[in-house]
């Protein structure tokens, strides 16, 4: 039953509205009962109880005919609206359970993975138009992972060498680890750089936690080259990192995605002689999140992945 703003019980619910409309449209209790797949006596009792609760006669009855009263005529439109609203609510729930509607909050680092986000956003718009994809850029991988774990993000695109057990992920692209150098740097003449050649360099780095790729790869490079990195500046993002390298402040580790998608005037990119594996760009989510909308978006990413895989 519905309840009015005054606390009184309103006698018209969906079941009663359907019964009333069947009788009003058929103007015959027997045919209305057949339409509703019920016996006539219970239908008659239901209508009488509705009239009693409303305090109004809805139908004029005699042995030969049934006709709507003025009050019955007035009730037709709101009864139709109530039934249609009930159907709409059912459809909304069905679509939500199927991942057709809902909200997914996606975090990503920025321009270096923007092309992947663009592909996903287009697929959502075309294939899941009723699903809201909210985008949050400038999310460094380690910070985005924290937000994912605490629940303020639903999906994250980032680069991690390690992920906790409660996080699921799928590889959506593989990149090269590169060294960014000022174009006038002596090592810029070489195509491949040895780790030992970087022992005396000044390094510019990005903020990073224990799971972030760049700090781990720099540490591995330093171990191989037998040096301690001399960090002269921490850049707030990859665009600033490239500006600082171009300004000859120092050198930096970066990704082929940065080279391909972020302007870098005065910067050259060189391969490292020994790189510990490709850099994996991953889509990550919480294993505990069973949202159908999230699963629907993750499925669209899988369909567009260049190098699918999972953990």
CATH architecture of the domain covering 102-173+280-304: 3-Layer(aba) Sandwich (3.40)
* pLDDT of 40 higher than 60: yes
Would strands 66-68 and 59-61 be described as parallel, antiparallel, or unpaired? antiparallel
Contacts of residue 114, defined as CB under 8 A and 6 or more positions apart, other chains included, come to 108, 137, 261
Which tokens hold the place of 84? 């249609």
Report the alpha-carbon distance of residue 146 to residue 21 in Å, rounded: 55
Tell me how many helices (H) and strands (E) the chain has.
10, 15
The confidence band for 12, taking pLDDT boundaries of 50, 70 and 90, is confident
234-268 pLDDT per residue, tens? 998 899 999 999 999 999 999 999 999 999 999 99
Rg (CA), the chain: 32
Lowest-confidence region among 12-21, 100-109, 263-272, 277-286: 100-109
Fold of 177-277: D-Maltodextrin-Binding Protein; domain 2 (3.40.190)
Encode burial over 109-122: b for 16+ CB neighbours within 10 A, e otherwise: bbbbbbebbebbbe
Residues whose CB is less than 8 angstroms from the CB of residue 298 and which lie 6 or more positions away in sequence, other chains included: 155, 170, 283, 285
Q: What angle do CA 275, 159, 309 make, to 5 degrees?
A: 90
Determine which of 81-95, 106-120, 229-243 has the lowest per-residue pLDDT on average. 81-95
Here the tokens at position 175 are 């990149």
The pLDDT confidence band at residue 92, using thresholds 50, 70 and 90, is low
- Asked whether the domain spanning 177-277 has the same topology as the one spanning 2-97, the reply is no
Task: Return the minimum-mean-pLDDT range out of 97-101, 124-128, 261-265, 294-298.
Answer: 97-101
Average pLDDT score over the chain:
86
The answer to whether the CB of 58 falls within 8 A of the CB of 70 is no
pLDDT for residue 29: 92
In this prediction, residue 283 carries a pLDDT of: 94
Q: Name the residue among 30, 52, 62 with its Cα closest to residue 43.
A: 30
| Predicted local distance difference test score (pLDDT) of residue 276 | 63
Local confidence band at 91 (pLDDT 50, 70, 90 cut-offs): low
Residue 3, pLDDT above cutoff 60: no
In angstroms, the CA 294 to CA 120 distance is: 13
At residue 143, the pLDDT reads 85
pLDDT at 7 over 70: no
| pLDDT for position 47 | 92
Which helix (H) or strand (E) segment holds residue 109: the answer is: none
The per-residue pLDDT for range 129-165, each reduced to its tens digit, is: 888 899 998 777 888 899 999 999 999 999 988 899 9
Residue (of 246, 216, 250) closest to 233 by Cα position: 250
> Between residues 86 and 285, which one has the greater pLDDT?
285
Q: pLDDT at position 305, please?
A: 46
CATH number 1.25.40.80 is the correct assignment for the domain at 2-97: no
Instruction: Give domain limits for the chain.
Output: 2-97, 102-173+280-304, 177-277
């Amino acid at each position: 039953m519905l309840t009015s703003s005054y606390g009184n019980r309103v006698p018209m619910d969906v079941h009663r509205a359907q019964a009333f409309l069947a009788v009003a449209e058929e103007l015959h209790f027997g045919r209305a009962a057949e339409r509703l797949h019920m016996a006539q006596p219970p239908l008659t009792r239901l209508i009488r109880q509705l009239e009693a609760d409303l305090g109004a006669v809805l139908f004029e009855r005699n042995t030969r005919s049934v006709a709507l009263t003025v009050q019955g005529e007035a009730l037709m439109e709101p009864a139709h609206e109530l039934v249609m609203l009930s159907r709409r609510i059912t459809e909304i729930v069905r679509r939500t359970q199927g991942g057709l509607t809902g909200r997914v909050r996606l975090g990503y680092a920025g321009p270096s993975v923007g092309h992947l986000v663009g592909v996903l956003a287009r697929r959502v718009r075309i294939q899941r138009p009723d699903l809201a994809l909210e985008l949050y850029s400038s999310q460094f991988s380690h910070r985005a992972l924290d937000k994912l774990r605490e629940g303020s993000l639903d999906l994250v695109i980032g680069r991690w060498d390690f992920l906790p057990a409660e996080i699921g992920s799928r590889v959506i692209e593989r990149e090269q680890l590169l060294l960014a150098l000022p174009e006038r740097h002596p090592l810029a003449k070489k195509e491949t750089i040895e780790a030992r050649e970087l022992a005396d360099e000044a390094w510019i780095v990005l903020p990073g936690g224990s799971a972030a790729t760049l700090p781990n790869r720099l540490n591995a490079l330093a171990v191989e080259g037998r040096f301690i990195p001399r960090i002269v500046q921490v850049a707030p993002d990859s665009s600033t990192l490239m500006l600082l390298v171009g300004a000859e402040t120092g050198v930096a580790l970066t990704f082929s995605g940065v080279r391909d998608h972020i302007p870098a005037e005065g910067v050259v990119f060189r391969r490292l002689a020994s790189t510990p594996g490709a850099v994996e760009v991953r889509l990550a989510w919480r294993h505990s999140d069973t949202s159908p909308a999230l699963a629907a978006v993750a499925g669209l990413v899988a369909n567009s992945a260049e190098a699918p895989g999972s953990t």
